[in-house]
Amino acid sequence: MTSPMTPFFYILLGAFGFVLLVLLVLRKTSEYMTRARFGQFLFGIIALFIFLAATGYWFTRPARPRIRVAVLPVQEELFSAERSWLAWHIADQAGDILRRGLAKEYLVYPASWLWMSLDTDSLNEIAYLQRYAERIGLDWAVLPALSGDGQSVTLDYIFVRVQSPNLIRKSQITVSRERGFDLGRLLAIEAARCLHQTLDPPAAAPADPQVVMLSSLASAYLAQSEFDEAVRAAQAAFDKDSLLVPVRNLYAAALLKQSLRREKEGLRDTVGRLCALRVCENTIRHHQPDAATYRWLGAYYLAEKQWAQAGRHLRKALALDPDDAEALSLYAYLNASRFKEIGFQDDEEMLLHVLQLNPCDESARLRLAEWYFSSNHQKAAEREAQALLTIHPRSIDGLMFLGKLAATDRDFAKLAEIYDKIFTIDPHNADAYYNLGIYYYQSEDLDNAEKLFTRAVRLSNHTDSHLYLGQIYERRGEIDKAIEEYRLRIRHKKGLEDRFADVARSRLFELTRPDSTKLAPYVR
């Protein structure tokens, strides 16, 4: 952990101690150093030390904590992304205007960050949203609710100071149905007024209502990780108006995330990924790119493992928006040697900064916990996993990490309890069955391991389960079954650097070559 004292203070303290020691020696050995002179020198040195320490603290003092604000998702009865595209548009537009217009002392969470850890089943409960605002460290929260009739749209909102003492202000905004698109701007103005800030953004230029609806739908689907629907909505918006940079960025993001998910499932989606690349490159070449354009271009090169290109584009994104927590989170996937280029020393410092900006980032929290675990700081790793579960109690990945810690401690009772929670939350999670199967496999309980790996394969054709099933069958002497499993794993190879596919190929070669064959050593 970082020490609260700076190196300058330690140097100053050492210098003060050395000078004090010299004075004491001179007081004992020199006739010149009388008691009066010793007192004068001592007073002067102490005064100088205090002055230098105060000056050093002034220049190195920690920055004041920023005031955290967010417009929470708009409540609407029978919430769904398809029905509530206007609700999403209002929250997203209001957050974006506040982020651009408020002073630097304010940190405004975008709507997409909030969806990283929201329980969508509880969106209509004000009490849940207030507790959620507290868990993610907000100082002020706007809780809007949308209603309307055939002629007008009404947005009721509650402006809450989350920390004690709580201050609550209730009000509403009513506009004609034709002006519903402008509710986000009006809500941002009212929220800024509650913060004693002046904000008067101009009304947005008239836009095609279909484009606004489709892009809002795509953004909502993307935030909820429904990537196929996001691609369809974003492509429809892109086809209607390909000149809007936010629409282009949204389309590239949807294509890229859909491609990454398919790759995780063992399906190579080269076309979708290349389309995302072309959209970003053309945005830079022919339009006015923003931080999101460079962020998604960096994400593409990160997926392609072109580290230098990824770092270059992500640094451009951060130059345009230093608070882009998503770009910082992507940058944290690079080697720690590249962190110095943006002012960080190691993974811990980098990921802590990401989480300071966006405590909802589940991926960053898990990577920090994993870093502590690999650095042999198990208590710190458990603390981060518990912090994640405090924000997102239903996080499957957070629970599986706690299961990993329990398995490391060989606490199988706790391991079983954790996985019972996981299967209660998501009984069809193939990764959970696979991970639990590994623990049984490592404990030599091959029967239960086989059942769990088979379950993972049945749920989603979990590719890595085929390798373990092959090894189980091979150990039992069921060679035909082992060969079949190894072939299935090779068939679902994930790119050129797939270690599990290479192991399966090696075992398949050993099992299928004729017994009489002897591999002669290679002679140069």
pLDDT for position 304: 92
- Indicate the DSSP class of residue 72: P
pLDDT for position 522: 36
pLDDT for position 80: 47
Residue 238: name the closest of 179, 298, 278 by CA: 278
Structure confidence by residue, pLDDT tens digits, 434-484:
999 999 999 899 999 999 999 999 998 888 999 999 999 999 999 999 999
Task: Map residue 73 onto helix, strand or coil.
Answer: coil
pLDDT for position 515: 54
Supply the pTM of this predicted model: 0.81
Cβ-in-10-Å burial (0-12, 13-18, 19+) of 26 comes to middle
Range list of β-strands (E), 281-423: none
Residue 336 contacts residue 320 (beta carbons within 8 Å): no
pLDDT for position 518: 46
Q: Which residue has the tokens 């909505």?
A: 233
pLDDT for position 126: 78
Which residues sit opposite 281 in a β-bridge? none
pLDDT for position 3: 45
Structure confidence by residue, pLDDT tens digits, 55-91:
777 666 666 788 999 998 877 654 444 456 888 889 9
Burial readout 346-385 (b: 16 or more C-beta within 10 A, e: otherwise): ebbebbbbbbebbbbbbbbbbbbbbbbbeeebeebbbebb
pLDDT for position 301: 96
pLDDT for position 424: 93
pLDDT for position 253: 96
- Indicate the DSSP class of residue 75: B
Q: Is the dihedral of CA 427, 431, 435, 441 positive or negative?
A: positive
Cβ-in-10-Å burial (0-12, 13-18, 19+) of 294 comes to buried
* CA distances to 214, 421, 427, 462, 503 from 455, in Å: 38, 18, 11, 9, 22
Where the chain has pLDDT below 70, the residues are: 1-6, 58-63, 76-84, 165, 203-206, 266, 495, 514-524
How far is Cα 484 from Cα 453, in angstroms, rounded to an integer? 15
How far is Cα 210 from Cα 237, in angstroms, rounded to an integer? 8
